[in-house]
A and B are shown apart, each in its own frame.
Chain A
Amino acid sequence: AQKITQTQPGMFVQEKEAVTLDCTYDTSDQSYGLFWYKQPSSGEMIFLIYQGSYDEQNATEGRYSLNFQKARKSANLVISASQLGDSAMYFCAMREGRFDSARQLTFGSGTQLTVLP
């Protein structure tokens, strides 16, 4: 079974509007972490936001927020007020296990976001 599922291969959003990128995950661990990364065409993976499994509040970082629904095992990324520079591939990733023992990220297949002027 896929550990991280991103069901939207491509998304379009109008500039200044909000957009939600979906991510569901599968793990039997109680302790895990969820990450979102942005990858522009240059290739670098840029960290956006992190949510720990025990965090009760949804994570926010500027225009990025993570809609964490633990029972549904979903961790959707919300980008508010989209900008042209937000056009990129977005990856959801999971680190299973405790932070002091987990040593790898498992990535989803990504969502290509295009912001339209």
Chain B
Amino acid sequence: KAGVTQTPRYLIKTRGQQVTLSCSPISGHRSVSWYQQTPGQGLQFLFEYFSETQRNKGNFPGRFSGRQFSNSRSEMNVSTLELGDSALYLCASSFDSYGYTFGSGTRLTVV
């Protein structure tokens, strides 16, 4: 079966711009969660969506937002980009919380 698909793989944006990242979960998985990975802070939880509802949110500013569509695909948006937003953004899909399957990530560089 197809895995978790994240697009795009790489992205370069300028400070102040906004960006939208996409995640298509494994078929049948209704939970999608997002993580930010940086060398300084490691892996940090952003938010989790289930059946189009945000169920849980990490400690990130309001510039970070997301949504989930009826087909379980999820997008995350970062507005007013800062240099510190440069990171690998990973999404994980889950059928139940016994297993989380991650995508290959989107590597965002803010210049």
Contacts and interface: CB of A to CB of B under 8 A. Distances in A.
Given A43-B107, A109-B42, A103 B48 contact: yes
Contacts of A44: 102-105
B55 interface: yes
Give the secondary structure class of B's interface. strand
A107 B107 contact: no
Contacts of A52: 98
A99 B31 CA distance: 13
B107 A102 contact: no
A39 B86 CA distance: 19
A5 B109 CA distance: 28
Interface string B67-111: 000000000000000000000101010001111111111010000
Contacts of A99: 96-98
Contact of A50 (B48, B99, B103): B99
A64 interface: no
Q: What range describes how many residues of A lie at the interface? A: 20 to 34
A86 B102 CA distance: 18
Given A33-B97, A47-B99, A104 B104 contact: no
B45 interface: yes
B58 A104 contact: yes
B47 to A, nearest CB: 9
A100 B96 contact: yes
Interface of A: 33, 35, 37, 42-47, 50, 52, 91, 93, 95, 99-100, 102-110
Given A33-B97, A37-B102, A103-B48, 12 more contacts: A35-B100, A43-B90, A43-B104, A43-B105, A44-B105, A45-B102, A47-B100, A47-B102, A50-B99, A100-B97, A103-B55, A104-B56
